Every structure is written in structure tokens, then in C-alpha cells.
Amino acid sequence: MPAAEAVFRPVAEHGLLVDLADRPARAVHDRVLALDRALAAAPFPGFVEAVPGHVNLLVRFDPLLTDHRAAEAAIAGLLARSAGPRPPGRLHEIGICCEGDLAPDMAEVARRTGLSPDGVVALLAGAEHEVAIYGFAPGYAYLTGLPEPLHLPRKPAALRDVPAGSLLVAAGQCIVSTLTMPTGWWILGRSPVPILTGNPARPFRFDVGDRVRFRPMSRAEYEAAP
Amino acid sequence: MTARLQVVAAGPHVTVQDAGRPGLMRFGVPGSGPMDRLAFAAGNRALGNPAGAAGIEVSPGGLVLDCTTGAVGVAVTGGGFLVTLNGVTRPGWWRGTLRSGDRLAIRPGSWGSWACLCLAGDLEASPWLGSRATHAPSGLGGGRLAAGQGLTVHAPREVAAADLILPLPARPRHAVRVTMGPQERFFDAAARSAFLSGPWRLSPAFDRMGLRLAGPAIPPAATLDMPSEAVSRGSVQVAGDGVATVLMADHQTTGGYPKIATVIDADLDALAQLRPGDRLAFRAVTPDMAVTIARRHAATVARYLDGLGRYGD
């Protein structure tokens, strides 16, 4: 697919998947988020919601009010005008404790990467991560920006009942989990900061495009957190 | 005024639902709500409830309730379940009033996978993100029902007993319409043809998140490393081993598997009422046809619900 073109793929009677590239890249995600912002600022009649992916945006509409052709024309118009650098997303500092049983995979990740556990934590904390997409389950924000040495494939087997708040790492991304669930990702810490905030005015801590820095915290500080 | 109900027995996956929580897919939250939205809307309309009122979705595990205090109108809709009031059989689509001492049982019958129990009044249940619909994988929202649990209905109303008409679009459908894609290009001609010719059956892997199908293997043509992207209720996603799954009310919001097709919304309620082992076929329509069908379906449903609203009162 040529760099600046979009491909509109119909999804049933209620959506268009707007593909902006085949492969993920920073510039591609910039365009996804620019289109997302443009739709939020100037929704076309019948627009329902937009859902960002790594290389595309799903645009859902009400088929009683519009159709694929009208939606495509509206989106194409926004795409032509929505280029340009993205504004920096809000920066969140998220405390993480990477000690003991809160980081059960630390020793194995250190062994596989040839780093010390402190070296792993330093890489996690030194990077600026970015909320690329939400997916999988409520509040699961996929963060990109993980330093290259920590890019590991998933574990061979999933672990059950991994607690909410776990810092999970795999496939070049990380997640702070929100539910107790099985996972095949590497568990490198735990955060006392819930991503599902419980605050009705702002129920999700991050917006897509926000930036995240992890701040290592001691076990004592983790235990004392509210 | 309140009415109180006591759960005597509840199978797994019996949950509180309402019209769902649309518009939060970008935060990883699917719409949830009833598997059979038409049946749920019919139950609420037959009681004079607002369209989004909370009620109970009954799985094939069944539900038995005692009314312990007060009186409350109820409507049972959805699949062809066996409904008994104090041991006396009622029609599968029925409304009436439960009074203190009454026992209502809803058990699987001759067809269907989901029944709806709507209540004339305001069912007390915890909201999450503005909706009392239960997101089954997390249990967030109104939640699952369990034996021994009490239910409270505020401002209950009594209703005259009546049989309800089961509308044609609410019957299970063995052929559902799809638009192809958005990733049909990842499947070769043989796999696309096998998808449309089947034969397919529902496998026992069947829940509020999705229906896994048994049928021809339709593996994607290339080994893929597709970047994760949004999926929809109705997406037919195909894993690397060629097994197809239709995503339903509590689906994950993103996935990295290609979608060969998407079931149109008008056919999803009827699809949800199939049972494991039932046959299923997919018929391709163009996106324009899908829009036309959606508009015709919405008009039919609106006319039917208006008729229910006039019933017997």
C-alpha cells in the first residue's frame, strides 16, 4: 500500500476499517491518531465511534443515518486535512514495584536478556512508553516504546490467575493489567495505580496517544500505597 | 414499594443485562448487553418498561426464583424455554405477575440458548460505566446470579397475564448474512468458497464472547503477523489453524487474527439462539444490501415493538 493512501474496507452494515498501512510504524500510528482526533472534532452525521488499531481505525456508524459511501467521503475529506505532527499526549508517571513475588519472571527475563534485574528495571523505567491501543479486555492499554533488549516472545505456557495491576511484557509491548486473568506475558512487577480508575468522570486513566513513564518503587512504598 | 425475589437455582452464565454500554470499544470495553437484543427489548416493551431497563438473561443452565415479598410483573422471552409458574406450564413467550409465595422456573426447552426475564420496575444492580449489563469475562456490571441471592425490584408494577407473540426475526436462523472481509484477501479462493459452502455447525465452545464453529478448515493463505486491530460483534475471525469463531456480545475489542467476514447485525440475535451442534450457513451480501437490510429490519422491529406496547393494557 503506498504510504499516503487509505483503503476503506466495509464491516457489515455499520463500519469501515480505514487501513493506513500494512506494517506498524510510528508515522502510521501518527496518522491513525490524527484521523481519530479529526473525527472526534468533526464527526459526520451518523458517526458512532472510532477504535484505533496499530495501522488502522475502525469507524462505526449508524446505518439508519448514513452508509459506507457517505462515511468514506467524510473520512477521506478529514484524512486530507488531518496530517501534521501529533500534539504530545499527557504524561503519566506510574509507580511499579519490581521486587520478589510481585515480579515472578524477573530472574528468567534477566537470564534471557543477559541483564541484571536492576538493569531490566532501569530499562523499563528509562523509557517513555506510549499508549498505542486498548484491547483484549477493559482497560488493557498496549504500551509501545519498550527498549529493544526487552523484546521477548510470549512464554511457552500461560499462567493462570495473574493479579490485576501486574506489569506484563511481551512482543515489544507492555501492559498494566486490570483484571485477574491468565497470561502468557512475562510478569515483571505490580502497580498500585489502577488503570480502571473507578472515577465516573474519568474511568480510564489513559487516552490513546498518552505517554507513560514507570517509576520504580520499593516494596514498602508499594505496600503503603492507597 | 419494593418486591423481593430469591434465587433458588441459577445455572452458570445467568447474568443481569440491560441495553449495554456502547461507545467504549476504544478503551477495550465491548458493548455487552443481551445476546438476543430483540427478545430483551420485546420483554421490556411488553411490560411498559423503558427500552434500556435492566433484566436477567438466562443461559441454558436455567433459573428458578421465588417471590418472597410484594408483587411484580415479569415477561419471559428469548428461546423456547420451559416456563413454569408454581409448577404450571406457561408459554415460552409470556408475561404475568409474580406474587409473594410464587415460584417461577425457566429451564431449557425445545430450542434456543438464551431466555430473557424482564421485570416491571427497576431491578437493583450495580452499574459499571453507566450500564448494568454484565461483562461476563470480568463479572463487572450487574453481575452473575447465584443460588441464595436476593433481588430487589423498586417501584414494581403488576401486569395482566398475556401470551406474547414470538416475532419471526427472533426465531433461530440457520443461514445468516455476512459482508465479506475486512480481511478476505488473506484467504485463497478455495478457503473463501469453503467458507460460503460449509457445512458449518456450532461447536460446544459457546459463550457470551463468541461461538466457535466446526466445519471446513479455512486457514489464512499466508502465515500472518497481523497488527492488532478493532473487531466487532459479528466478526468471523479465523485463527492460524483455520478454525472460525463468530464474536458475540462480550467479545475482546481487538485481535490479531484475520476476519474473513462479518455477520450483519440484523441476523446476530437469531444466530445467538442456535445451539451447539446446530447447522449454520453464511450467505454473502454487498455492503449496500447490508444497509438496506438493516433499515428494513429496524422498521420491522419498531412496528413489532409498538404493537407489543399496545397489548392488553
The domain of B256 spans 175-299
- The gap from C-alpha B279 to its chain's centroid, in whole angstroms, comes to 19
CB-nearest to A137 from B138, B235, B287 is: B138
The verdict on a CB contact (< 8 Å) between B291 and A142 is no
Peptide bond into A182 cis (omega under 30): no
Is residue B44 in some structural domain? yes
Is residue B191 in some structural domain? yes
Peptide bond into A10 cis (omega under 30): no
Please state, for a pLDDT cut of 90, what percent of chain A lies above it: 83
Tell me how crowded residue B109 is: count the other CB atoms within 10 A of its CB: 14
Largest CA distance in chain B: 63
Is residue B308 in some structural domain? no
Structure ipTM:
0.95
- Residue A158: pLDDT band (50, 70, 90) is confident
Residue A40 three-state SS: helix
CB-nearest to A9 from B182, B228, B293 is: B182
Over 70: is that where the pLDDT of A207 sits?
A: yes
The verdict on a CB contact (< 8 Å) between B29 and A140 is no
Q: Where are the domains of chain A?
A: 7-81, 91-224
Please state, for a pLDDT cut of 90, what percent of chain B lies above it: 87
Over 70: is that where the pLDDT of B312 sits?
A: no
Query: How much is the pLDDT for A168?
Result: 96
**Of 3.40.1190.20, 3.30.70.20, 2.40.100.10, 3.30.420.40, which CATH number belongs to A91-224?**
2.40.100.10
Q: How far apart (Å, rounded) are the C-alpha atoms in residues B263 and B281?
A: 11
B225, B247, B253: which to substitute to probe chain A, counting the most A Cβ within 10 Å?
Answer: B253
Q: Which residue type does B155 have?
A: A
CATH number at residue B221: 2.40.100.10
CB-nearest to A64 from B28, B262, B298 is: B298
The verdict on a CB contact (< 8 Å) between A58 and B140 is no
Please report, for residues A16, A17, A83, A191, B203, the alpha-carbon distance to residue A49 in angstroms, rounded to integers and kept in the order given. Answer: 11, 12, 20, 30, 32
- For A15-64, the pLDDT digits (tens) are 999 999 999 998 999 999 999 999 999 999 999 999 999 999 999 999 99
Over 70: is that where the pLDDT of A1 sits?
A: no
- Residue A3: pLDDT band (50, 70, 90) is very low
Angle in degrees, CA B262, B53, B75, rounded to 5: 95
Query: How much is the pLDDT for B256?
Result: 87
Query: How much is the pLDDT for A206?
Result: 97
User: Is A12 touching B (CB cutoff 8 A)?
Assistant: yes
CB-nearest to A134 from B232, B253, B294 is: B253
β-pair partners for B119: B74
**Which residue in the block uniquely carries the three cell numbers 438496506?**
B292
Mean pLDDT in residue range B18-42: 97
Say what angle helices B287-310 and B37-46 make with each other, to 10 degrees.
20
Helices (H) and strands (E) in chain A, counts: 5, 13
- For B63-114, the pLDDT digits (tens) are 999 999 999 999 999 999 999 999 999 988 999 999 999 999 999 999 999 9
8 A C-beta contact, residue A128 and residue A89 = no
Q: Which distant-in-sequence residues (6+ apart) come within 8 Å of A15 by Cβ?
A: A58, A59, A60, A61, B232, B262
Query: How much is the pLDDT for A71?
Result: 98
Q: How far apart (Å, rounded) are the C-alpha atoms in residues B97 and B74?
A: 6
Q: Both B127 and B180 in a single domain?
A: no
Over 80: is that where the pLDDT of B58 sits?
A: yes
User: Judging by DSSP bridges, how do beta strands B94-99 and B71-85 pair with one another?
Assistant: antiparallel
Choosing from B106, B137, B166, the residue where a domain stops is B166
Mean pLDDT in residue range A136-149: 94
Q: Both B19 and B40 in a single domain?
A: yes
Dihedral over Cα of B304, B305, B306, B307: its sign: positive
Count residue pairs from A and B with Cβ separation < 8 A. Answer: 135
Is residue B31 in some structural domain? yes
Instruction: Find the DSSP H helices in chain A.
Output: 26-41, 68-81, 106-113, 117-126, 219-224
Q: Both B212 and B159 in a single domain?
A: no
Query: How much is the pLDDT for B169?
Result: 73
pLDDT higher at B135 or A155? B135
Q: How far apart (Å, rounded) are the C-alpha atoms in residues B91 and B162?
A: 9
- Residue A2: pLDDT band (50, 70, 90) is very low
Over 90: is that where the pLDDT of B238 sits?
A: yes
Is residue B307 in some structural domain? no
Over 60: is that where the pLDDT of B284 sits?
A: yes
B128, B177, B185, B228: which to substitute to probe chain A, counting the most A Cβ within 10 Å?
Answer: B228
**Which residue in the block uniquely carries the three cell numbers 478454525?**
B243
Is residue B313 in some structural domain? no
Q: How many domains does chain B have?
A: 2
Q: Which distant-in-sequence residues (6+ apart) come within 8 Å of A199 by Cβ?
A: none
- For A71-109, the pLDDT digits (tens) are 999 999 999 887 667 788 999 999 999 999 999 999 999
Is residue B311 in some structural domain? no
Please report, for residues B12, B109, B142, B253, the alpha-carbon distance to residue B126 in angstroms, rounded to integers and kept in the order given. Answer: 19, 30, 5, 23
Query: How much is the pLDDT for A5?
Result: 85
pLDDT higher at B35 or B221? B35
Q: Could you write out the three-class secondary structure of chain B?
A: CEEEEEEEEECCCCEEECCCCCCCHHHCCCCCCCCCHHHHHHHHHHCCCCCCCCEEEECCCCEEEEEEECEEEEEEEEEEEEEEECCEEECCCEEEEEECCCEEEEEEEEEEEEEEEEECCEECCCCECCECCCECCCCECCCECCCCCEEEEECCCCCCCEECCCCHHHCCCCEEEEEECCCHHHCCHHHHHHHHHCCEEEEEEECCCEEEEECCCCCCCCCCCCCCEECCCCEEEECCCCCEEEECCCCCCEECCCEEEEECHHHHHHHHCCCCCCEEEEEECCHHHHHHHHHHHHHHHHHHHHHHHHCCC
Q: Both B7 and B147 in a single domain?
A: yes
Which residues of A fall within a CB distance of 8 Å from B234? 12
Q: Would you list which residues of chain B are within 8 Å, Cβ to Cβ, of chain A?
A: 22-29, 129-130, 135, 137-138, 140, 178-179, 181-183, 227-230, 232, 234-235, 252-255, 262-266, 287-288, 290-291, 293-295, 298
8 A C-beta contact, residue B244 and residue B215 = yes
Over 80: is that where the pLDDT of B168 sits?
A: no
Quote the DSSP letter at residue A49: E
Mean pLDDT of chain A: 93
Choosing from B115, B141, B166, the residue where a domain stops is B166
Query: How much is the pLDDT for A4?
Result: 61
Is residue B309 in some structural domain? no
Please report, for residues A47, A93, A118, B19, B246, the alpha-carbon distance to residue A62 in angstroms, rounded to integers and kept in the order given. Answer: 7, 38, 52, 16, 21
Tell me how crowded residue A188 is: count the other CB atoms within 10 A of its CB: 25
Mean pLDDT in residue range B111-119: 97
CATH 3.40.50.970 fits A7-81, yes or no: no
Report A:104-143 residues touching B (Cβ under 8 A): 133-142
